[in-house]
Structure 1
Amino acid sequence: MDPLRRNRFGVSVVFVAHGAVTGSFATRVPWLADHVGVGTGRLGLALLFPAIGAMATMSFSGRLLHRYEGRRVTRLLLAAWCLALPLPALAPNLPLLCAALLVYGSVSGMADVAMNAQAVAVENRYGRPIMSGLHGLWSAGGLAASGIGVAAAAVGLDARVHFGLMAAVLLVVGQLGGRLLPTVRPDPDAAEPPAFALPPRPVLLIGLVGFCAVFGEAAGSDWAAKYLTDVAGAGQGIAAGAYTGFACAMAAARLVGDRVVARLGVVGTVRLGGVLSAAGAVLIVLSRAPVPGIVGFALLGVGVSVVVPLTFTAAGAATSHPGHAIAGVATISYGAGLAAPAVIGGIAAGTSLPVSFLVVAALAVLIAVGAGTFRTRRP
């Protein structure tokens, strides 16, 4: 196999494996709640810990990628991420569940940064856009694993067994893919980046655009079903399928996103994504029936789908420390995953869900306005 194709295949397998761990976990959250005996409120508190762990540790990946060879770092962190999957299911009570989820999120965020740094290296060598497609494969891996998780839950399989089996399989798959990654050695002449510091201004602006995109993604995934039942008058079955449609729309758009980037360029693609997501959010605000609501969420998903992958590409090309820049952008962008549920829920409690989605529309407009920050060149 051609070395470049070998590298691309390897990083594709790594993205699929990482997404599959996420998809496996997501389907068994109700089992975890029953296992430790918590209600919705305390479960929601526990589910904040993965995001807290990820944001707290992502910047350390930049230091690791500066000091050590990138393929080795990625394989090690991906292995830790797979092995962390069973930890939440082994927790017997809420405090230990929170601790397990903190570890789970920490290794997830670090592995995320490392694999995206590898993806940027492969894309640079490949000479054409591949980042959006890789994130599409991440989504596809998550959807496939969620299907397995639904089947496991349907037959009553204990999540400890389910997670253990998936961890073992994905550990092997991820390590086989990791062996095909390119050798990316740190620049010995570059100064070591700080452990915690805001990225330079160009990368900071890219991260803020990524924040807007992740906010829209989190709002859609967390509130689509609730919006369709409470505002659009949909039945429980249609509303339950809203998230699946939203996720499928994002995955499909990412899989074809590289062709759009090749045709429109990075800036044009980000601007188009902002326009589509803004249109989708406005349609959601105006929707009082299921069909336009579903179309609105699908447009929102398609619009934000390619923006997040392109933030990593732009950040990796903006400084002499790609790993540190990607870690900084990821920390800023994924902070929206913490902010979105609270902001949307708080505004909805004080006014209504349609009013809260005006915030999503405004942030989507900022994506289109800030697209020019993606016009970067490596120093």
Structure 2
Amino acid sequence: MKLIIGVVFIVVSALADELPLAEQCDEEACQLPDCRCSSTDIPGGLRPRDTPQFVTITFDGGLNTVNIQTYRQELYDKTTKNGCPIGATFYVNHEYTNYNIVNELYNRGFEIGLNSISHRTPPSYWAQADYDTVMAEIGDQRIQMAHFANIPMDAIKGVRLPFLQMTGNSSFQVMADIGLLYDASWSTTANTNPGLWPYTLDYASTQDCNIPPCPTASIPGAWVFPLVAWLDLSGTACTTVDSCFDVPEENDVDGWYRFYISNFERHYLGSRAPFGFHVKEAYFTIYPGARVAFRRFLELLNNLHDVFVVNSSQVIEWIKDPVPVSEYIEQPCWNFVNTRCNHIGCPPLTSEHNQIQYWMEICNICPRVYPWVGNPLGL
């Protein structure tokens, strides 16, 4: 069996090096639900006032008993104006992650995405990553995440690359081959007003490439979820909240609230491209005012009739079949199947890559060694 898998992997890997160069988008040929040109145009030709304003809250990194306290306090038991629970997407890396918590977040209706097994430094490792490297870091992590957290593999739809470092065509080809829906790593500072909507890579992208190498090949069905930049207090573009330089003082709740509103309004009063609130949980510890303001900001969003705080993949599902606010608000809430977690605590496991002893909290049977790149299940 291993020999067969190896042969298939080699063949697929070889094909990854022979991708056709993407051509300029043919709008007549590229039609929803399966294809969309890179564009700031609203899907379906809707008017801004008829378009749902989607907000995507995303966090990167490992999940543990410390940061889950923030997520429970700030995200749980909150609903949007249509009565549905709010969404958030967690792009999780493997090291030190508590898989019981992954299962808990999934069973709360939040989306679990991939952020690599190793999250290895320096960023040049990812800039130079070929197809095989990305498959070992991302493709295998999908198997790993589904296994240890006991969540359906097809519920894992998105990836965010470490450090937002693009890998050229490699990561998108891996996505297409293993059935991931979208990538949420590619930042844009040139398409902020109006903002760039998610699109597919069937044709050449018009998005600016801030952290090269960016994809150049035609990779049908692979969706790009652009990270539309914010503007800090000096008007300088920043992709994530915690990367903004000129920000309010750490305890200035009103200042942070106004900061959030000013960036949100650029979307809400404009083309209604999805508004991304991307931040690391630890930032709320450094800037307590930012956390309190986030709570107030979320209350505002949840009381606006045409604003919906959703999981990232829900945005793409709407784009595939865009309907006006009046119809969207009547649609059923996000549907998922709950899964069990047996809450197994594993004794210290030796890591073969660095000889460190790791504890693991998982939902099934303890591995032999600490799982890592090349051995994602620790067999």
TM-score grouping bracket, smaller chain normalisation: under 0.3
TM-score (norm 1): 0.27
- The structure carrying a bigger helix percent of its residues is 1
- The structure carrying a bigger strand percent of its residues is 2
